[in-house]
Amino acid sequence: MFCMAAISLQLNAQDTKGFDKEKVFIGSGVNLGFFNGFILGLNPEIGYSFNRFIDAGLATNVNYFTQNDQYSSIVYRQFTFGGGPFIRIWPANMFFIGGQFEYNSINYSIKENNTVTGRQKLSAPSLLVGGGYGSRFVGRSQFSTSIMVDVLRDVNSPYIDYYGRLQPVLRTTFTFYLRDKKRGR
């Protein structure tokens, strides 16, 4: 994915005229996962559109994960904070592939019969990879929906359940480009 980004940057060098603050965007994604458990999260981000194919930037995350043990009354819960760089490659204005590296700090608890029986503070790297659909026109507000999985599969990942199964993450993202007020935009 990074090789494709580098090639695209090189091929579109004629589109690049230096830093343009109107290509800076801010936004947030909402995560929802419901396979083998439940994930709910927010992902504020700031990024830059390098050309008509590539967006990159920094994202943070706050996630809540809960899973009921299928064989007992145990409930596993995680509250996660993290962040890191992301990249999205848009081969067409409506489809993208992307990746986001995160380093996560995790507060983990286990409840049995409504009594907390264990707590841990953990950390884990994650590399979310996937694709999605959305509207992308540099300089305009954007909306996209994606599905991603953690390909690193660290045992402490917030995107891996208690049994080691991947928790696909559905993310809907809204972004807004910064505008130059002097130009009346």
**Structural domains of the chain, with CATH:** 24-36+44-179 (2.40.160.170)
Beta bridge partners of 119: 109
| Residue 141: per-residue pLDDT | 84
Using CA atoms, how far apart are residues 142 and 155, in angstroms rounded to an integer?
Answer: 34
Amino acid at 137: F
Using CA atoms, how far apart are residues 140 and 129, in angstroms rounded to an integer?
Answer: 25
For residue 184, pLDDT over 60 is answered with: no
pLDDT (mean) for 162-179: 85
For residue 4, pLDDT over 80 is answered with: no
3-state secondary structure of 113: coil
Kind and range of the H or E run holding 5:
helix 2-11
The 8-class DSSP code of residue 184 comes to T
Using CA atoms, how far apart are residues 19 and 21, in angstroms rounded to an integer?
Answer: 6
- pLDDT tens readout for residues 111-138: 888 788 889 999 999 999 999 999 888 7
Using CA atoms, how far apart are residues 173 and 43, in angstroms rounded to an integer?
Answer: 8
**SS3 assignment for 11-72:** HCHHHCCCCCHHHEEEEEEEEEECCCCEEEEEEEEEEEECCCCEEEEEEEEEEEEEEECCCC
What is the pLDDT confidence band of residue 35, given thresholds at 50, 70 and 90?
Answer: low
Q: Which two tokens stand for residue 164?
A: 């080691």
How does the average pLDDT of the chain come out, rounded?
84
Contact yes or no for 63/71 (Cβ under 8 A) = no
Contact yes or no for 156/19 (Cβ under 8 A) = no
| Residue 17: per-residue pLDDT | 62
Beta bridge partners of 79: 64, 107
From 171, 154, 164, select the one nearest 67 (Cα to Cα): 164
